[in-house]
Chains A and B, each alone.
Chain A
């Protein structure tokens, strides 16, 4: 029996999995981390119920690796109770720390130097990844057409080597490992990508990172201070203002900015001022309640 040696699948294990399957369709060899949930269409999978792909993927693995995967996921409380030998009834679909850190580690080794999709992970040299996210001070200068871009994100200076066509959203997610900001529509129509630039809320998908050198960019990761949640974050928790959570960071960033904008007093005004953020789960009533409570307390 192969025992897992680390808390999460290492890159070498991922690569080995891909090679061993040899089924001609390498997309299926990528763990659910990198897939869209087929049911709710959110990315990455495991965001909503946490169970969709794991069993599909696991069934395709050879026995040895199947155990490895299940043990790894179980350790991170990411598997659902399987019908296999290791039945386990504890289901915690969202082990934020392990997945986020795992993906963050990919950024640390400088894998995404341009807007390349994470699917390319499998093709790189295998490396053990354990370190938490650190500043990306220098990415390998392998890509033609990249230029140095310096951004100030949540008070920290970040030096990137990226193409001009990398949007601010993609720079945050793919190059800086800040996954709190989400890509929903990528066309400025859903608001999931909302961040603050110099204190003003904007759609980060519709602007290029290179255009924001010298600007102060705030993402959802930068709201809490000294471990204390921003009042809007706390209000969203208190009022149950999210279900799947995918729109939530954009909603929170919008609501925080709204506090400093001229917006009418009643709920209709809140709805209008929040109209740039859509929620497919329909958590609107609670979102309005959360925003109302923060404004009332102000």
Chain B
């Protein structure tokens, strides 16, 4: 335990160090919680005023238990908001508090400066409270059970969103406005004298243009005109829902989008915070008597379970690697072209750009682009990265490969679309019967059938007409259908035809 005035001195001190290093953050409000309270806040995803739902209770039950068994402990939580809220566990030792406060400031810097957080609502604390009140009102009016069941249905579709939608127009929902297509009356012709016309505008060309136009027109008739990845947004606009359901769905969607950047930058964000808490502690704040405890805690944060990947560790090591490389000038065409091992090993132009580079990286990348850009073969070897796969014969997960290309590919795949299957609305009037047709973009990993079926039932509860999902099963394009009472499965063709 630590007294409040001591803590506020610590906070002040560490804020100074953080600013000294060039970190730039929103004001931070610290709150001290005991472990039950912090588990509670964590169950609500950091927002104590969130709408009521049993799954938060479930989360709490689980956390309380695993805390009891000593399996996990939450030292801090930081909420992306302006001002940032940081929850600290009050039983942390003073040295832990220092480390954690440094960690918190780095997170806040990341929230404020990383481009992917640019589109998030910085008044989310208030927004979540509003959502809570709105949902509570619906419960009072319509009945708790019914609203709760509908929230279950919506949460089941939570991952059917488009992470890129946070850029550009933001979350404003403009779906498929049918623009006026080309008049289509006549194919545009190049100007020509009459006797030259059949040469300048040959019939074959006219025919081709006409066909293209025809296709364009067909596309216009299709609804939605192009595939919609933001399935939730599409449902809000087009599904036949009463007002309160539409509102609940839009609440779930808004909250899902709010959490997107956090899922997209886990490695970068945790790596950044670990990098800075270490810097602040070892260069500024650590007392000699605290060294052992600090080392213990810090190495715990960066520890790697056998065979697993720790995002804290990966991010932390990557920032260090980038700093080293840009300090010694190991980048650019000349370095890339060099294939002399000795030369590469001892490469040092004295560029000294490391610090600048990591600040730039934290501003413009997300996990996927970060890994794509900065994961090098040397790094992969040094860090002993490998891919694993299920060996169907033995039923074990086994180390599959240590090849750089495989590691990078697998890692990037797991980060694509936040690791979720890529599914979009293709047709909302399938077979001209108002049936919803979704397509799963197949990247080599099939869907889990039992979950897919259960999810389709929930989709049907919203769309209220039959629902279809096209995917690939055992190299065959397959269409799963649910018409409200029966599941069907139909083969559409071979994968190569896709």
A and B physically associate = no
Chain A interfacial positions (CB closer than 8 Å to B):
none
